[in-house]
Amino acid sequence: MKVQQLTVGMMGVCCYIASCEKTKKAAIIDPGGDEDKILEACSRENLDVVAIIATHGHPDHVCGNGPVKKATGADIYMHAADAEFFGRDDIKDYFSMLGLAQSPPTDVELHDGDTIAIGDETLTVLHTPGHTPGGICLYNKPDCFTGDTLFAGGVGRTDFPGGSTGELSHSIKSKLLTLPPETIVWPGHGYGGSQSTIGEEARSNPYF
């Protein structure tokens, strides 16, 4: 799988274009703004975008879902728990303070262990609640897209509605630190660096 990392939007989201080099099918993970930049990167590689995947429902990660869906026709994928949670009126009102667009309705609701075919490549869904109820990571050996569950040298915050420190810790320890140590961590923000490995985080992340 070929991985392109783009920093987008006013909140510096790490958006990823994950593509099958053989078929040129691609998924856009967390289009958090700068949609023209994302689409141009896909066009340069002659990619066919078949999926828009949200690692979680926070507006900084999904504000580009609508424009990207309109441009590509691709389905929007989100974990069922976040599709429900971020569809609530009270949650929409709370996150409207960010001034960012909400995602259109989810086309495909995900669950732990689901797989998403991207050409000849497959992304496996790891449900990692804690940052949000339906936060997910996406694994295709040796790559893992960790959203705001795990950063290089940090972890996602848990003080927003739907967050849980205990759940986040359990998710990381049971779903991520059990992956091979050479697994590449592609985080949702580059706060501590644009990438890391599971082994490096297990050794040096101060939150563990």
The pLDDT assigned to 89 comes to 96
What pLDDT does residue 208 have? 84
> 33-69, pLDDT tens digit by residue?
999 999 999 999 999 999 999 999 999 999 999 999 9
The predicted structure's pLDDT at residue 180: 98
What percentage of the chain carries pLDDT values higher than 90?
99
Distance CA 152, CA 150 (A): 7
Instruction: Give the residue-averaged pLDDT of 73-86.
Output: 98
- What are the Cα distances from residue 67, in Å, to 31, 37, 70, 104, 193? 9, 12, 5, 10, 28
Length of the chain: 208
Question: Which residues make beta-bridge pairs with 127?
Answer: 136
Q: Are strands 115-118 and 121-127 parallel, antiparallel or unpaired?
A: antiparallel
Q: Is pLDDT at 121 greater than 90 in this prediction?
A: yes
Half-sphere exposure of 127 (CA within 13 A, CB side): 14
User: In this predicted structure, what is the pLDDT of residue 93?
Assistant: 95
Please state the pTM of the whole predicted model: 0.97
Q: In this predicted model, what pLDDT tens digit does every residue of 143-194 receive, in sequence order? A: 999 999 999 999 999 999 999 999 999 999 999 999 999 999 999 999 999 9
Q: What is the largest CA-CA distance in the chain?
A: 44
Are 77 and 105 a contacting pair, CB within 8 Å? no
Q: Which amino acid is at 161?
A: P
**Quick check: 83 pLDDT over 90?**
yes
Q: 2-204 architecture in CATH?
A: 4-Layer Sandwich (3.60)
Region 104-126: what's the mean pLDDT? 98
As a whole number of angstroms, the distance between CA 42 and CA 31 comes to 12
Q: Are 115 and 138 in contact (CB under 8 A)?
A: no
Average pLDDT for the chain: 97
70 pLDDT band, cuts 50/70/90, is: very high
Read off φ and ψ for residue 48, nearest 5 degrees. Answer: -105, 105
Quick one: pLDDT at residue 140?
Answer: 98
Q: What is the pLDDT of residue 9?
A: 97
> CA-CA distance, 47 to 24, in Å (whole number)?
5
